């Protein structure tokens, strides 16, 4: 992620300075009182620094201080994680390995060890549980925590974030960054602000200004597609987004519009969902050789149907939408979906729907390197509504 946006903050009136771990912040006491008064939540977002790469550097001293990429070095390889030494050369997650090597010829490639990452993930989860039961993991290396009513009665979210970072370091010998704020959107932005090994606090009243100067690609949920649309609409920063009226946003961004409208003002109504409802079940396969012929595509689909249906049964999921995803050799992704008024009745129907989606696209415009299939619109998903938060709603 690009953090050159820091410079725009230094020009703003409010400075978002790193908070030193050892330094008690005199504003902490006020913080609690003011939060309670406004009915605001206290949210922490914790994210490990250069996660996979840091675990590899920890476990292999030869890698310490060196530019490391976790991923496959081969022709098709992609960088999953880059150590901060590698990032100085411009190496980033999701970059093709050949590009990474061109930028940094000394780059050391390491194969991922998912078991080691899962172990650390469990360790940090236990640290979080020490402070609050309201934990929403986003991936192996990050989670939102609602510490409005923390278990130990500490009261200050900033203090809790500091303790969590210390405890993670002691237990895992790895560093984590944390963001503290009054909603998820701001807390996630904050955890990214002073990486690595950083802490950033965005206090009530500071959110809108923090967001105004942000490049839009740092907004959580704005992917490459929404990003391109924003660019076409002349939206480059949070301030540009805030200048658009809700009707126009709905016209271009559909169901995401309300989230964006609020986010541009530093408002986010989503609760920390400790038991997040699963939205889809699926799987995908990348091939060692590109596939183009109809026969090979059908065979591959049959294979994926088997794998995905097993997962659907294991999860006891019932859903109404089947989505087929194809990634072409030029990395263009195409998705095709079909929805039923009722739940897909069984494997035969699931296979028939998936097959029809593929047949409708044959012959493909070129060979593909990946095929994926998901069952979405699951039972139970979408029933979840954020609780009304009077203080935050009144800001709209």
Residues with Cβ within 8 Å of residue 217, at least 6 apart in sequence = 2, 227
C-alpha span between 164 and 41 (Å, rounded): 18
> Does residue 141 bind Mg ion (CB under 5 A)?
yes
**Can you tell me which of 12, 20, 36, 94 binds ligand TTP, judged by CB under 6 A?**
94
Nearest approach, Cβ of 138 to Mg ion (angstroms)? Answer: 7
User: Which entry of 31, 56, 85, 142 is annotated as an active-site residue?
Assistant: 142
Candidate list 63, 68, 81, 216; residue touching ligand TTP; CB under 6 A: 81
The three-point CA angle 314-317-320 to 5° equals 145
Establish if 51 lies at the interface with ligand TTP (CB under 6 A).
Answer: yes
DSSP one-letter string for 194-224: T-SS-EEE--TTTHHHHHHTSBGGGSTT--H
Question: Does 196 interact with ligand TTP (rule: CB under 6 A)?
Answer: yes
Q: Does 50 bind ligand TTP (CB under 6 A)?
A: yes
Q: Does 136 bind Mg ion (CB under 5 A)?
A: no
218 binds ligand TTP (CB under 6 A): no
Minimum CB distance to Mg ion smaller for 81 or for 269? 81
Nearest position to Mg ion, beta carbon: 142
Own/partner long-range contacts of 220-229 (Cβ < 8 Å, ≥24 apart):
220/185, 220/188, 220/189, 221/256, 221/259, 222/260, 226/253, 226/256, 229/253
Of the ranges 20-28, 133-141, 200-208, 248-256, which one interacts with Mg ion (CB under 5 A)? 133-141
Largest CA distance in the chain: 69
Binding to Mg ion in span 367-396, by CB under 5 A: none
Active site residue 313: no
Window 222-261: residues binding ligand TTP (CB under 6 A): none
Quickly tell me which residue has 């993930």 as its tokens: 121
Q: Is 56 in the site for Mg ion (CB under 5 A)?
A: no
Place of tokens 């940090």: 124
Cβ-based nearer residue to ligand TTP, 47 or 268: 47
Separation between Cα atoms, residue 327 and residue 334, nearest integer Å: 6
Of these partners, ligand TTP, Mg ion, none, which one is at the site of residue 355 (CB under 5 to 8 Å by kind)?
A: none
- Indicate whether 141 belongs to the interface with ligand TTP (CB under 6 A): yes
Cα gap 68→110, rounded to integer Å: 7
**Residue 388 in contact with residue 297, Cβ under 8 Å?**
no
Q: Which of 45, 195, 244, 262 binds ligand TTP (CB under 6 A)?
A: 195
48 is a contact residue toward Mg ion (CB under 5 A)? yes
Instruction: State the minimum distance, in angstroms, from the CB of residue 235 to ligand TTP.
Output: 23
The burial class, CB within 10 Å (0-12 / 13-18 / 19+), for 314 is: exposed
Q: Decide which of Mg ion, ligand TTP, none touches 195; Cβ closer than 5 to 8 Å per partner kind.
A: ligand TTP
Q: In the structure encoding, which two tokens stand for residue 120, read together?
A: 């650390």
Nearest Cα residue to 54 out of 72, 76, 80, 73: 80
Question: Which of Mg ion, ligand TTP, none is residue 172 near (CB under 5 to 8 Å by kind)?
Answer: none
Which spans of this chain sit near Mg ion (rule: CB under 5 A)? 47-48, 51, 141-142
Which spans of this chain sit near ligand TTP (rule: CB under 6 A)? 1, 47-52, 80-81, 93-94, 139, 141-142, 195-196
């Amino acid at each position: 992620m690009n953090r050159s946006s820091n410079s725009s903050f230094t020009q703003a009136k409010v400075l978002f300075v790193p908070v030193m771990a050892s330094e008690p912040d005199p504003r902490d006491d006020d913080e609690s009182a003011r939060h309670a008064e406004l009915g605001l939540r206290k949210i922490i977002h914790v994210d490990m620094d250069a996660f996979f790469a840091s675990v590899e550097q920890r476990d292999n001293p030869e890698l310490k201080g060196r530019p490391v990429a976790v991923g496959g070095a081969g022709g098709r390889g992609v960088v999953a994680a880059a150590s901060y030494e590698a990032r100085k050369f411009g190496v980033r997650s999701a970059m093709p390995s050949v590009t990474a090597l061109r930028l940094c010829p000394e780059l050391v490639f390491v194969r991922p060890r998912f078991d080691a990452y899962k172990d650390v993930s469990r360790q940090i989860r236990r640290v979080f549980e020490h402070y609050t039961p309201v934990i929403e993991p986003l991936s192996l290396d990050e989670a939102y925590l609602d510490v409005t009513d923390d278990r130990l009665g500490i009261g200050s979210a900033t203090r809790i974030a500091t303790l969590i970072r210390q405890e993670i370091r002691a237990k895992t010998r790895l560093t984590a960054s944390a963001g503290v704020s009054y909603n998820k959107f701001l807390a996630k932005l904050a955890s990214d602000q002073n990486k690595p090994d950083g802490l950033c606090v965005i206090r009530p009243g500071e959110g809108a200004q923090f967001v105004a100067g942000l490049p839009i690609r740092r907004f959580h949920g704005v992917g490459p597609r929404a990003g391109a649309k924003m660019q076409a609409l002349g939206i480059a920063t949070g301030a540009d987004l805030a200048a658009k009226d809700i009707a126009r946003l709905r016209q271009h961004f559909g169901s995401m519009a309300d989230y964006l409208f609020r986010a541009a003002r530093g408002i986010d109504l989503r609760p920390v969902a400790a038991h997040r409802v699963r939205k889809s079940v699926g799987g995908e396969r990348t091939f060692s050789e590109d596939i183009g012929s109809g026969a090979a595509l059908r065979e591959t689909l049959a294979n994926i149907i088997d794998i995905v249906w097993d997962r659907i049964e294991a999860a006891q999921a019932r859903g109404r939408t089947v989505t087929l995803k194809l990634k072409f050799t030029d990395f263009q992704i195409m998705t095709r979906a079909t929805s039923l008024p009722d739940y897909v009745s069984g494997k035969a129907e699931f296979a028939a729907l998936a097959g029809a989606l593929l047949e409708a696209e044959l012959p493909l415009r070129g060979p593909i390197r990946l095929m994926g299939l998901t069952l979405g619109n699951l039972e139970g998903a979408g029933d979840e509504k954020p609780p009304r938060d009077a203080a935050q709603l009144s800001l709209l």
